[in-house]
Chains A and B, each alone.
Chain A
Amino acid sequence: GAGVSQSPSNKVTEKGKDVELRCDPISGHTALYWYRQSLGQGLEFLIYFQGNSAPDKSGLPSDRFSAERTGGSVSTLTIQRTQQEDSAVYLCASSVDRYTEAFFGQGTRLTVV
Chain B
Amino acid sequence: SYELTQPPSVSVSPGQTARITCSADALPKQYGSWYQQKSGQAPVMVIYKDSERPSGIPERFSGSSSGTTVTLTISGVQAEDEADYYCQSTDSRGTNVVFGGGTKLTVL
Do these two chains really belong together in a complex?
no
A residues near B (Cβ < 8 Å) are none
B residues near A (Cβ < 8 Å) are none
